[in-house]
Chains A and B, each alone.
Chain A
Amino acid sequence: MDWDKFNKIFEGCELLGNKIHIKSRLHEVIQFVIENYPYDILKEIIAIHNQDGTVELVYHLYSTVDEEDLMISICVNDETDSIVDIFKSAEADEKEIFDLFGIKFKGHDNLKRLYMPENWDGHPLRKDYIQDDTRLCWNDDNDS
């Protein structure tokens, strides 16, 4: 892809292999990439909880036409834009990430617990998730 052009529009991006690390404007970046390059599948969204407390989201785009990968990664604190309106498959991924990492996606209207019970405390795949015994049971106090 045309890196220079991309870098001009969205400043402060880093290119590492086939991975672009962006600082913000996630929705616009993905919209831009979709409109200008033949990426047609959002293969998955990978979430990684970094040591510094942020969650890195890696959007793995794929083109079935030229069989090329593109990863767009962004570090977020606890809230970011949803891209459900671009890729419907993000619906499932964002729901999972909300459940396991506690990231809220603005614009996703069906964010609910997926694997964990509704009244569960904490988000298990975060590194600061404490696995003490009291959390391994239903916490009825939070039931509202």
Chain B
Amino acid sequence: MTTTTLKLNLGPQHPSTHGVLRLILELDGEKILSCEPDIGYLHRGMEKMAEQMSYIQYLPTVDRVDYLAGFFYSELLCRIVEGALCVELPEKVRVIRVMLLELNRMASHILWIGMFLMDLGATSPFFYTFREREMILRYFERISGQRMMYNYFVFGGVRRDINFLEDVEEILSILPSKLDDYEKLIEENPIFIKRVVNKGVLEKETALNYAITGVNLRASGVDYDYRKQDYLYKGFDIGKVILREKDSMARYRARILEIKESMKIVRQALDYLKKSSPLEQKLVNPINLKLPEGDYYADIEAPRGIASCFVRSTGEKEPYRLKWRTGSYYSVNLLRKLLVGEYLNDAIAIAGSLDIILPEVDK
């Protein structure tokens, strides 16, 4: 009897590929022999687009690079422009940005918990996480007018003064008890533990070699958080989240802990903002904005790893070249290694644990 392997197209129309990822799997029974990710189903040409747009035209579109964490990408572009023009941000703008970024990170991680559990086959936590995320999104909507594409950060400041701080207070008071609920529902569940502990072990060296950053790297035991050297976070007390287990469970735990750390940062920002005086900021005039000739580079610790933006300007209104670095792009590449030798239903769980968001991959 001869046996052959089976080629399986996982996606792009598949409920658990988070949109439009396509994995070409070679299977022996249910065991994966090789995995070839195929991306580009959501490609919008963000980089090409930038070359034909002025900076202020481009600013509203960058929220779409990662629609679950839009603030991070508009912050990156603002940072590029501010860095190029040597704009000093007022203290309050800095704090507002930190608070919104951290709230956004919380929203993104909370959504991930639901998605991950959905991949594992538990449907209820998905709805619970949406309920919690809704509070944060509603706050974003109140301050920026939009739930996902905020367009709230502008060059040199924020679009308008921060408001509705009591909403943030409410989020901070409700969320810890909800997180405890998740712990009860999820972490004490033997089936969940069986499916994540020692599954998808990502060694430190592999993670670094595959340029994995952010939470996934910290869950593999590398003490590296870009926020510590970020000027935006100056004066904030940022807790360490480092886990040594390296498996899917560690990545789950790391995100839960990260949400808790983010809450502490938001609390610090909130205390500052409550006492602060009305916002005074000097915005960059976006009309005819030209960056001086040269290369500009900015990094930020986004929810899915380090995001960075590179701009080469030739002194024109449009950037000569703009390049995004996104965390998910490298996580997808990692699947090629991490899924080999796993079984199909573990593979879904492992891919889910890396938190891959396709708009970020395709850009």
Q: Which residue of B lies closest to A69 (CB)?
A: B297
> Which of the listed residues B43, B209, B362 has the most CB atoms from chain A within 10 Å of its own CB?
B209
Q: B323 on the interface (CB 8 Å rule)? A: yes
> Which of the listed residues B39, B211, B329, B362 has the most CB atoms from chain A within 10 Å of its own CB?
B211
Q: What 4 pairs across the A-B complex have the smallest Cβ distances?
A: A89-B211, A92-B333, A115-B40, A64-B224
Q: A87-B209, A88-B333, A115-B362 are in contact. Are A43 and B40 (CB under 8 A)?
A: no
Q: B128 on the interface (CB 8 Å rule)? A: no
- Give the number of chain A interface residues (Cβ < 8 Å): 25
Q: A43-B306, A44-B325, A124-B48 are in contact. Are A89 and B330 (CB under 8 A)?
A: yes
B210 & A89 in contact (Cβ 8 Å cutoff):
yes
B329 & A43 in contact (Cβ 8 Å cutoff):
no
B40 & A88 in contact (Cβ 8 Å cutoff):
no
Residues of chain A having any CB pair with chain B under 8 Å: 19, 40-44, 46-49, 58, 60, 64, 67, 87-89, 91-92, 100, 114-116, 124-125
- Which A residues are in CB contact (< 8 Å) with B310? 46, 58
Q: A49-B321, A64-B222, A115-B43 are in contact. Are A91 and B208 (CB under 8 A)?
A: no
B330 & A92 in contact (Cβ 8 Å cutoff):
yes
Give the distance to chain B from A31, nearest Cβ to Cβ, in Å: 14
Q: Find residues 80-119 in chain B having any chain A CB closer than 8 Å to their own CB.
A: none
Q: Can you report 15 A-B residue pairs in the complex whose CB atoms are below 8 A from each other?
A: A43-B211, A44-B211, A44-B308, A44-B323, A46-B310, A46-B323, A47-B323, A48-B320, A88-B337, A89-B330, A92-B330, A114-B39, A116-B40, A125-B48, A125-B321
Interface string of B277-313 (1 = CB under 8 A from A): 0000000000000000001000000000010101010
Q: Which residue of B lies closest to A96 (CB)?
A: B329
Q: Find residues 1-49 in chain B having any chain A CB closer than 8 Å to their own CB.
A: 39-40, 43, 45, 47-48
Q: Which residue of A lies closest to B207 (CB)?
A: A41
- Which A residues are in CB contact (< 8 Å) with B40? 114-116
- Which A residues are in CB contact (< 8 Å) with B45? 124
- Which B residues are in CB contact (< 8 Å) with A60? 325
CA distance A102 to B344 in the complex (A): 35
Interface size class of B (residues with CB under 8 A): 20 to 34
Q: A88-B337, A115-B362, A124-B48 are in contact. Are A64 and B208 (CB under 8 A)?
A: yes
- Which B residues are in CB contact (< 8 Å) with A44? 211, 308, 323, 325
A88 & B210 in contact (Cβ 8 Å cutoff):
yes
Q: B129 on the interface (CB 8 Å rule)? A: no
Residues of chain B having any CB pair with chain A under 8 Å: 39-40, 43, 45, 47-48, 206, 208-211, 213, 217, 222-224, 228-229, 295, 306, 308, 310, 312, 320-321, 323, 325, 329-330, 332-333, 336-337, 362
CA distance A116 to B228 in the complex (A): 38
A48 & B321 in contact (Cβ 8 Å cutoff):
yes
Give the distance to chain A from B180, nearest Cβ to Cβ, in Å: 32
> Which of the listed residues A19, A42, A46, A67 has the most CB atoms from chain B within 10 Å of its own CB?
A46
> Which of the listed residues B48, B213, B320, B321 has the most CB atoms from chain A within 10 Å of its own CB?
B321
CA distance A91 to B210 in the complex (A): 9
Q: Which residue of A lies closest to B223 (CB)?
A: A64
Give the distance to chain A from B361, nearest Cβ to Cβ, in Å: 9
Q: Which residue of B lies closest to A19 (CB)?
A: B295
A41 & B362 in contact (Cβ 8 Å cutoff):
no
A41 & B213 in contact (Cβ 8 Å cutoff):
yes
CA distance A64 to B214 in the complex (A): 11
B211 & A87 in contact (Cβ 8 Å cutoff):
yes
CA distance A87 to B210 in the complex (A): 7
Q: Other CB < 8 Å A-B pairs besides A60-B325, A89-B333, 8 of them?
A: A19-B295, A40-B208, A48-B321, A64-B223, A89-B330, A91-B336, A115-B362, A116-B40
Q: Which residue of B lies closest to A89 (CB)?
A: B211
- Which B residues are in CB contact (< 8 Å) with A87? 209, 211
- Which B residues are in CB contact (< 8 Å) with A64? 208, 217, 222-224
- Which A residues are in CB contact (< 8 Å) with B308? 43-44
- Which B residues are in CB contact (< 8 Å) with A42? 211
CA distance A89 to B210 in the complex (A): 4
Q: Which residue of A lies closest to B217 (CB)?
A: A64
- Which A residues are in CB contact (< 8 Å) with B47? 100, 125
Q: Name the contact of B312 in the complex, choosing from A48, A67, A91, A116 (C-beta under 8 A).
A: A48
Give the distance to chain B from A66, nearest Cβ to Cβ, in Å: 11
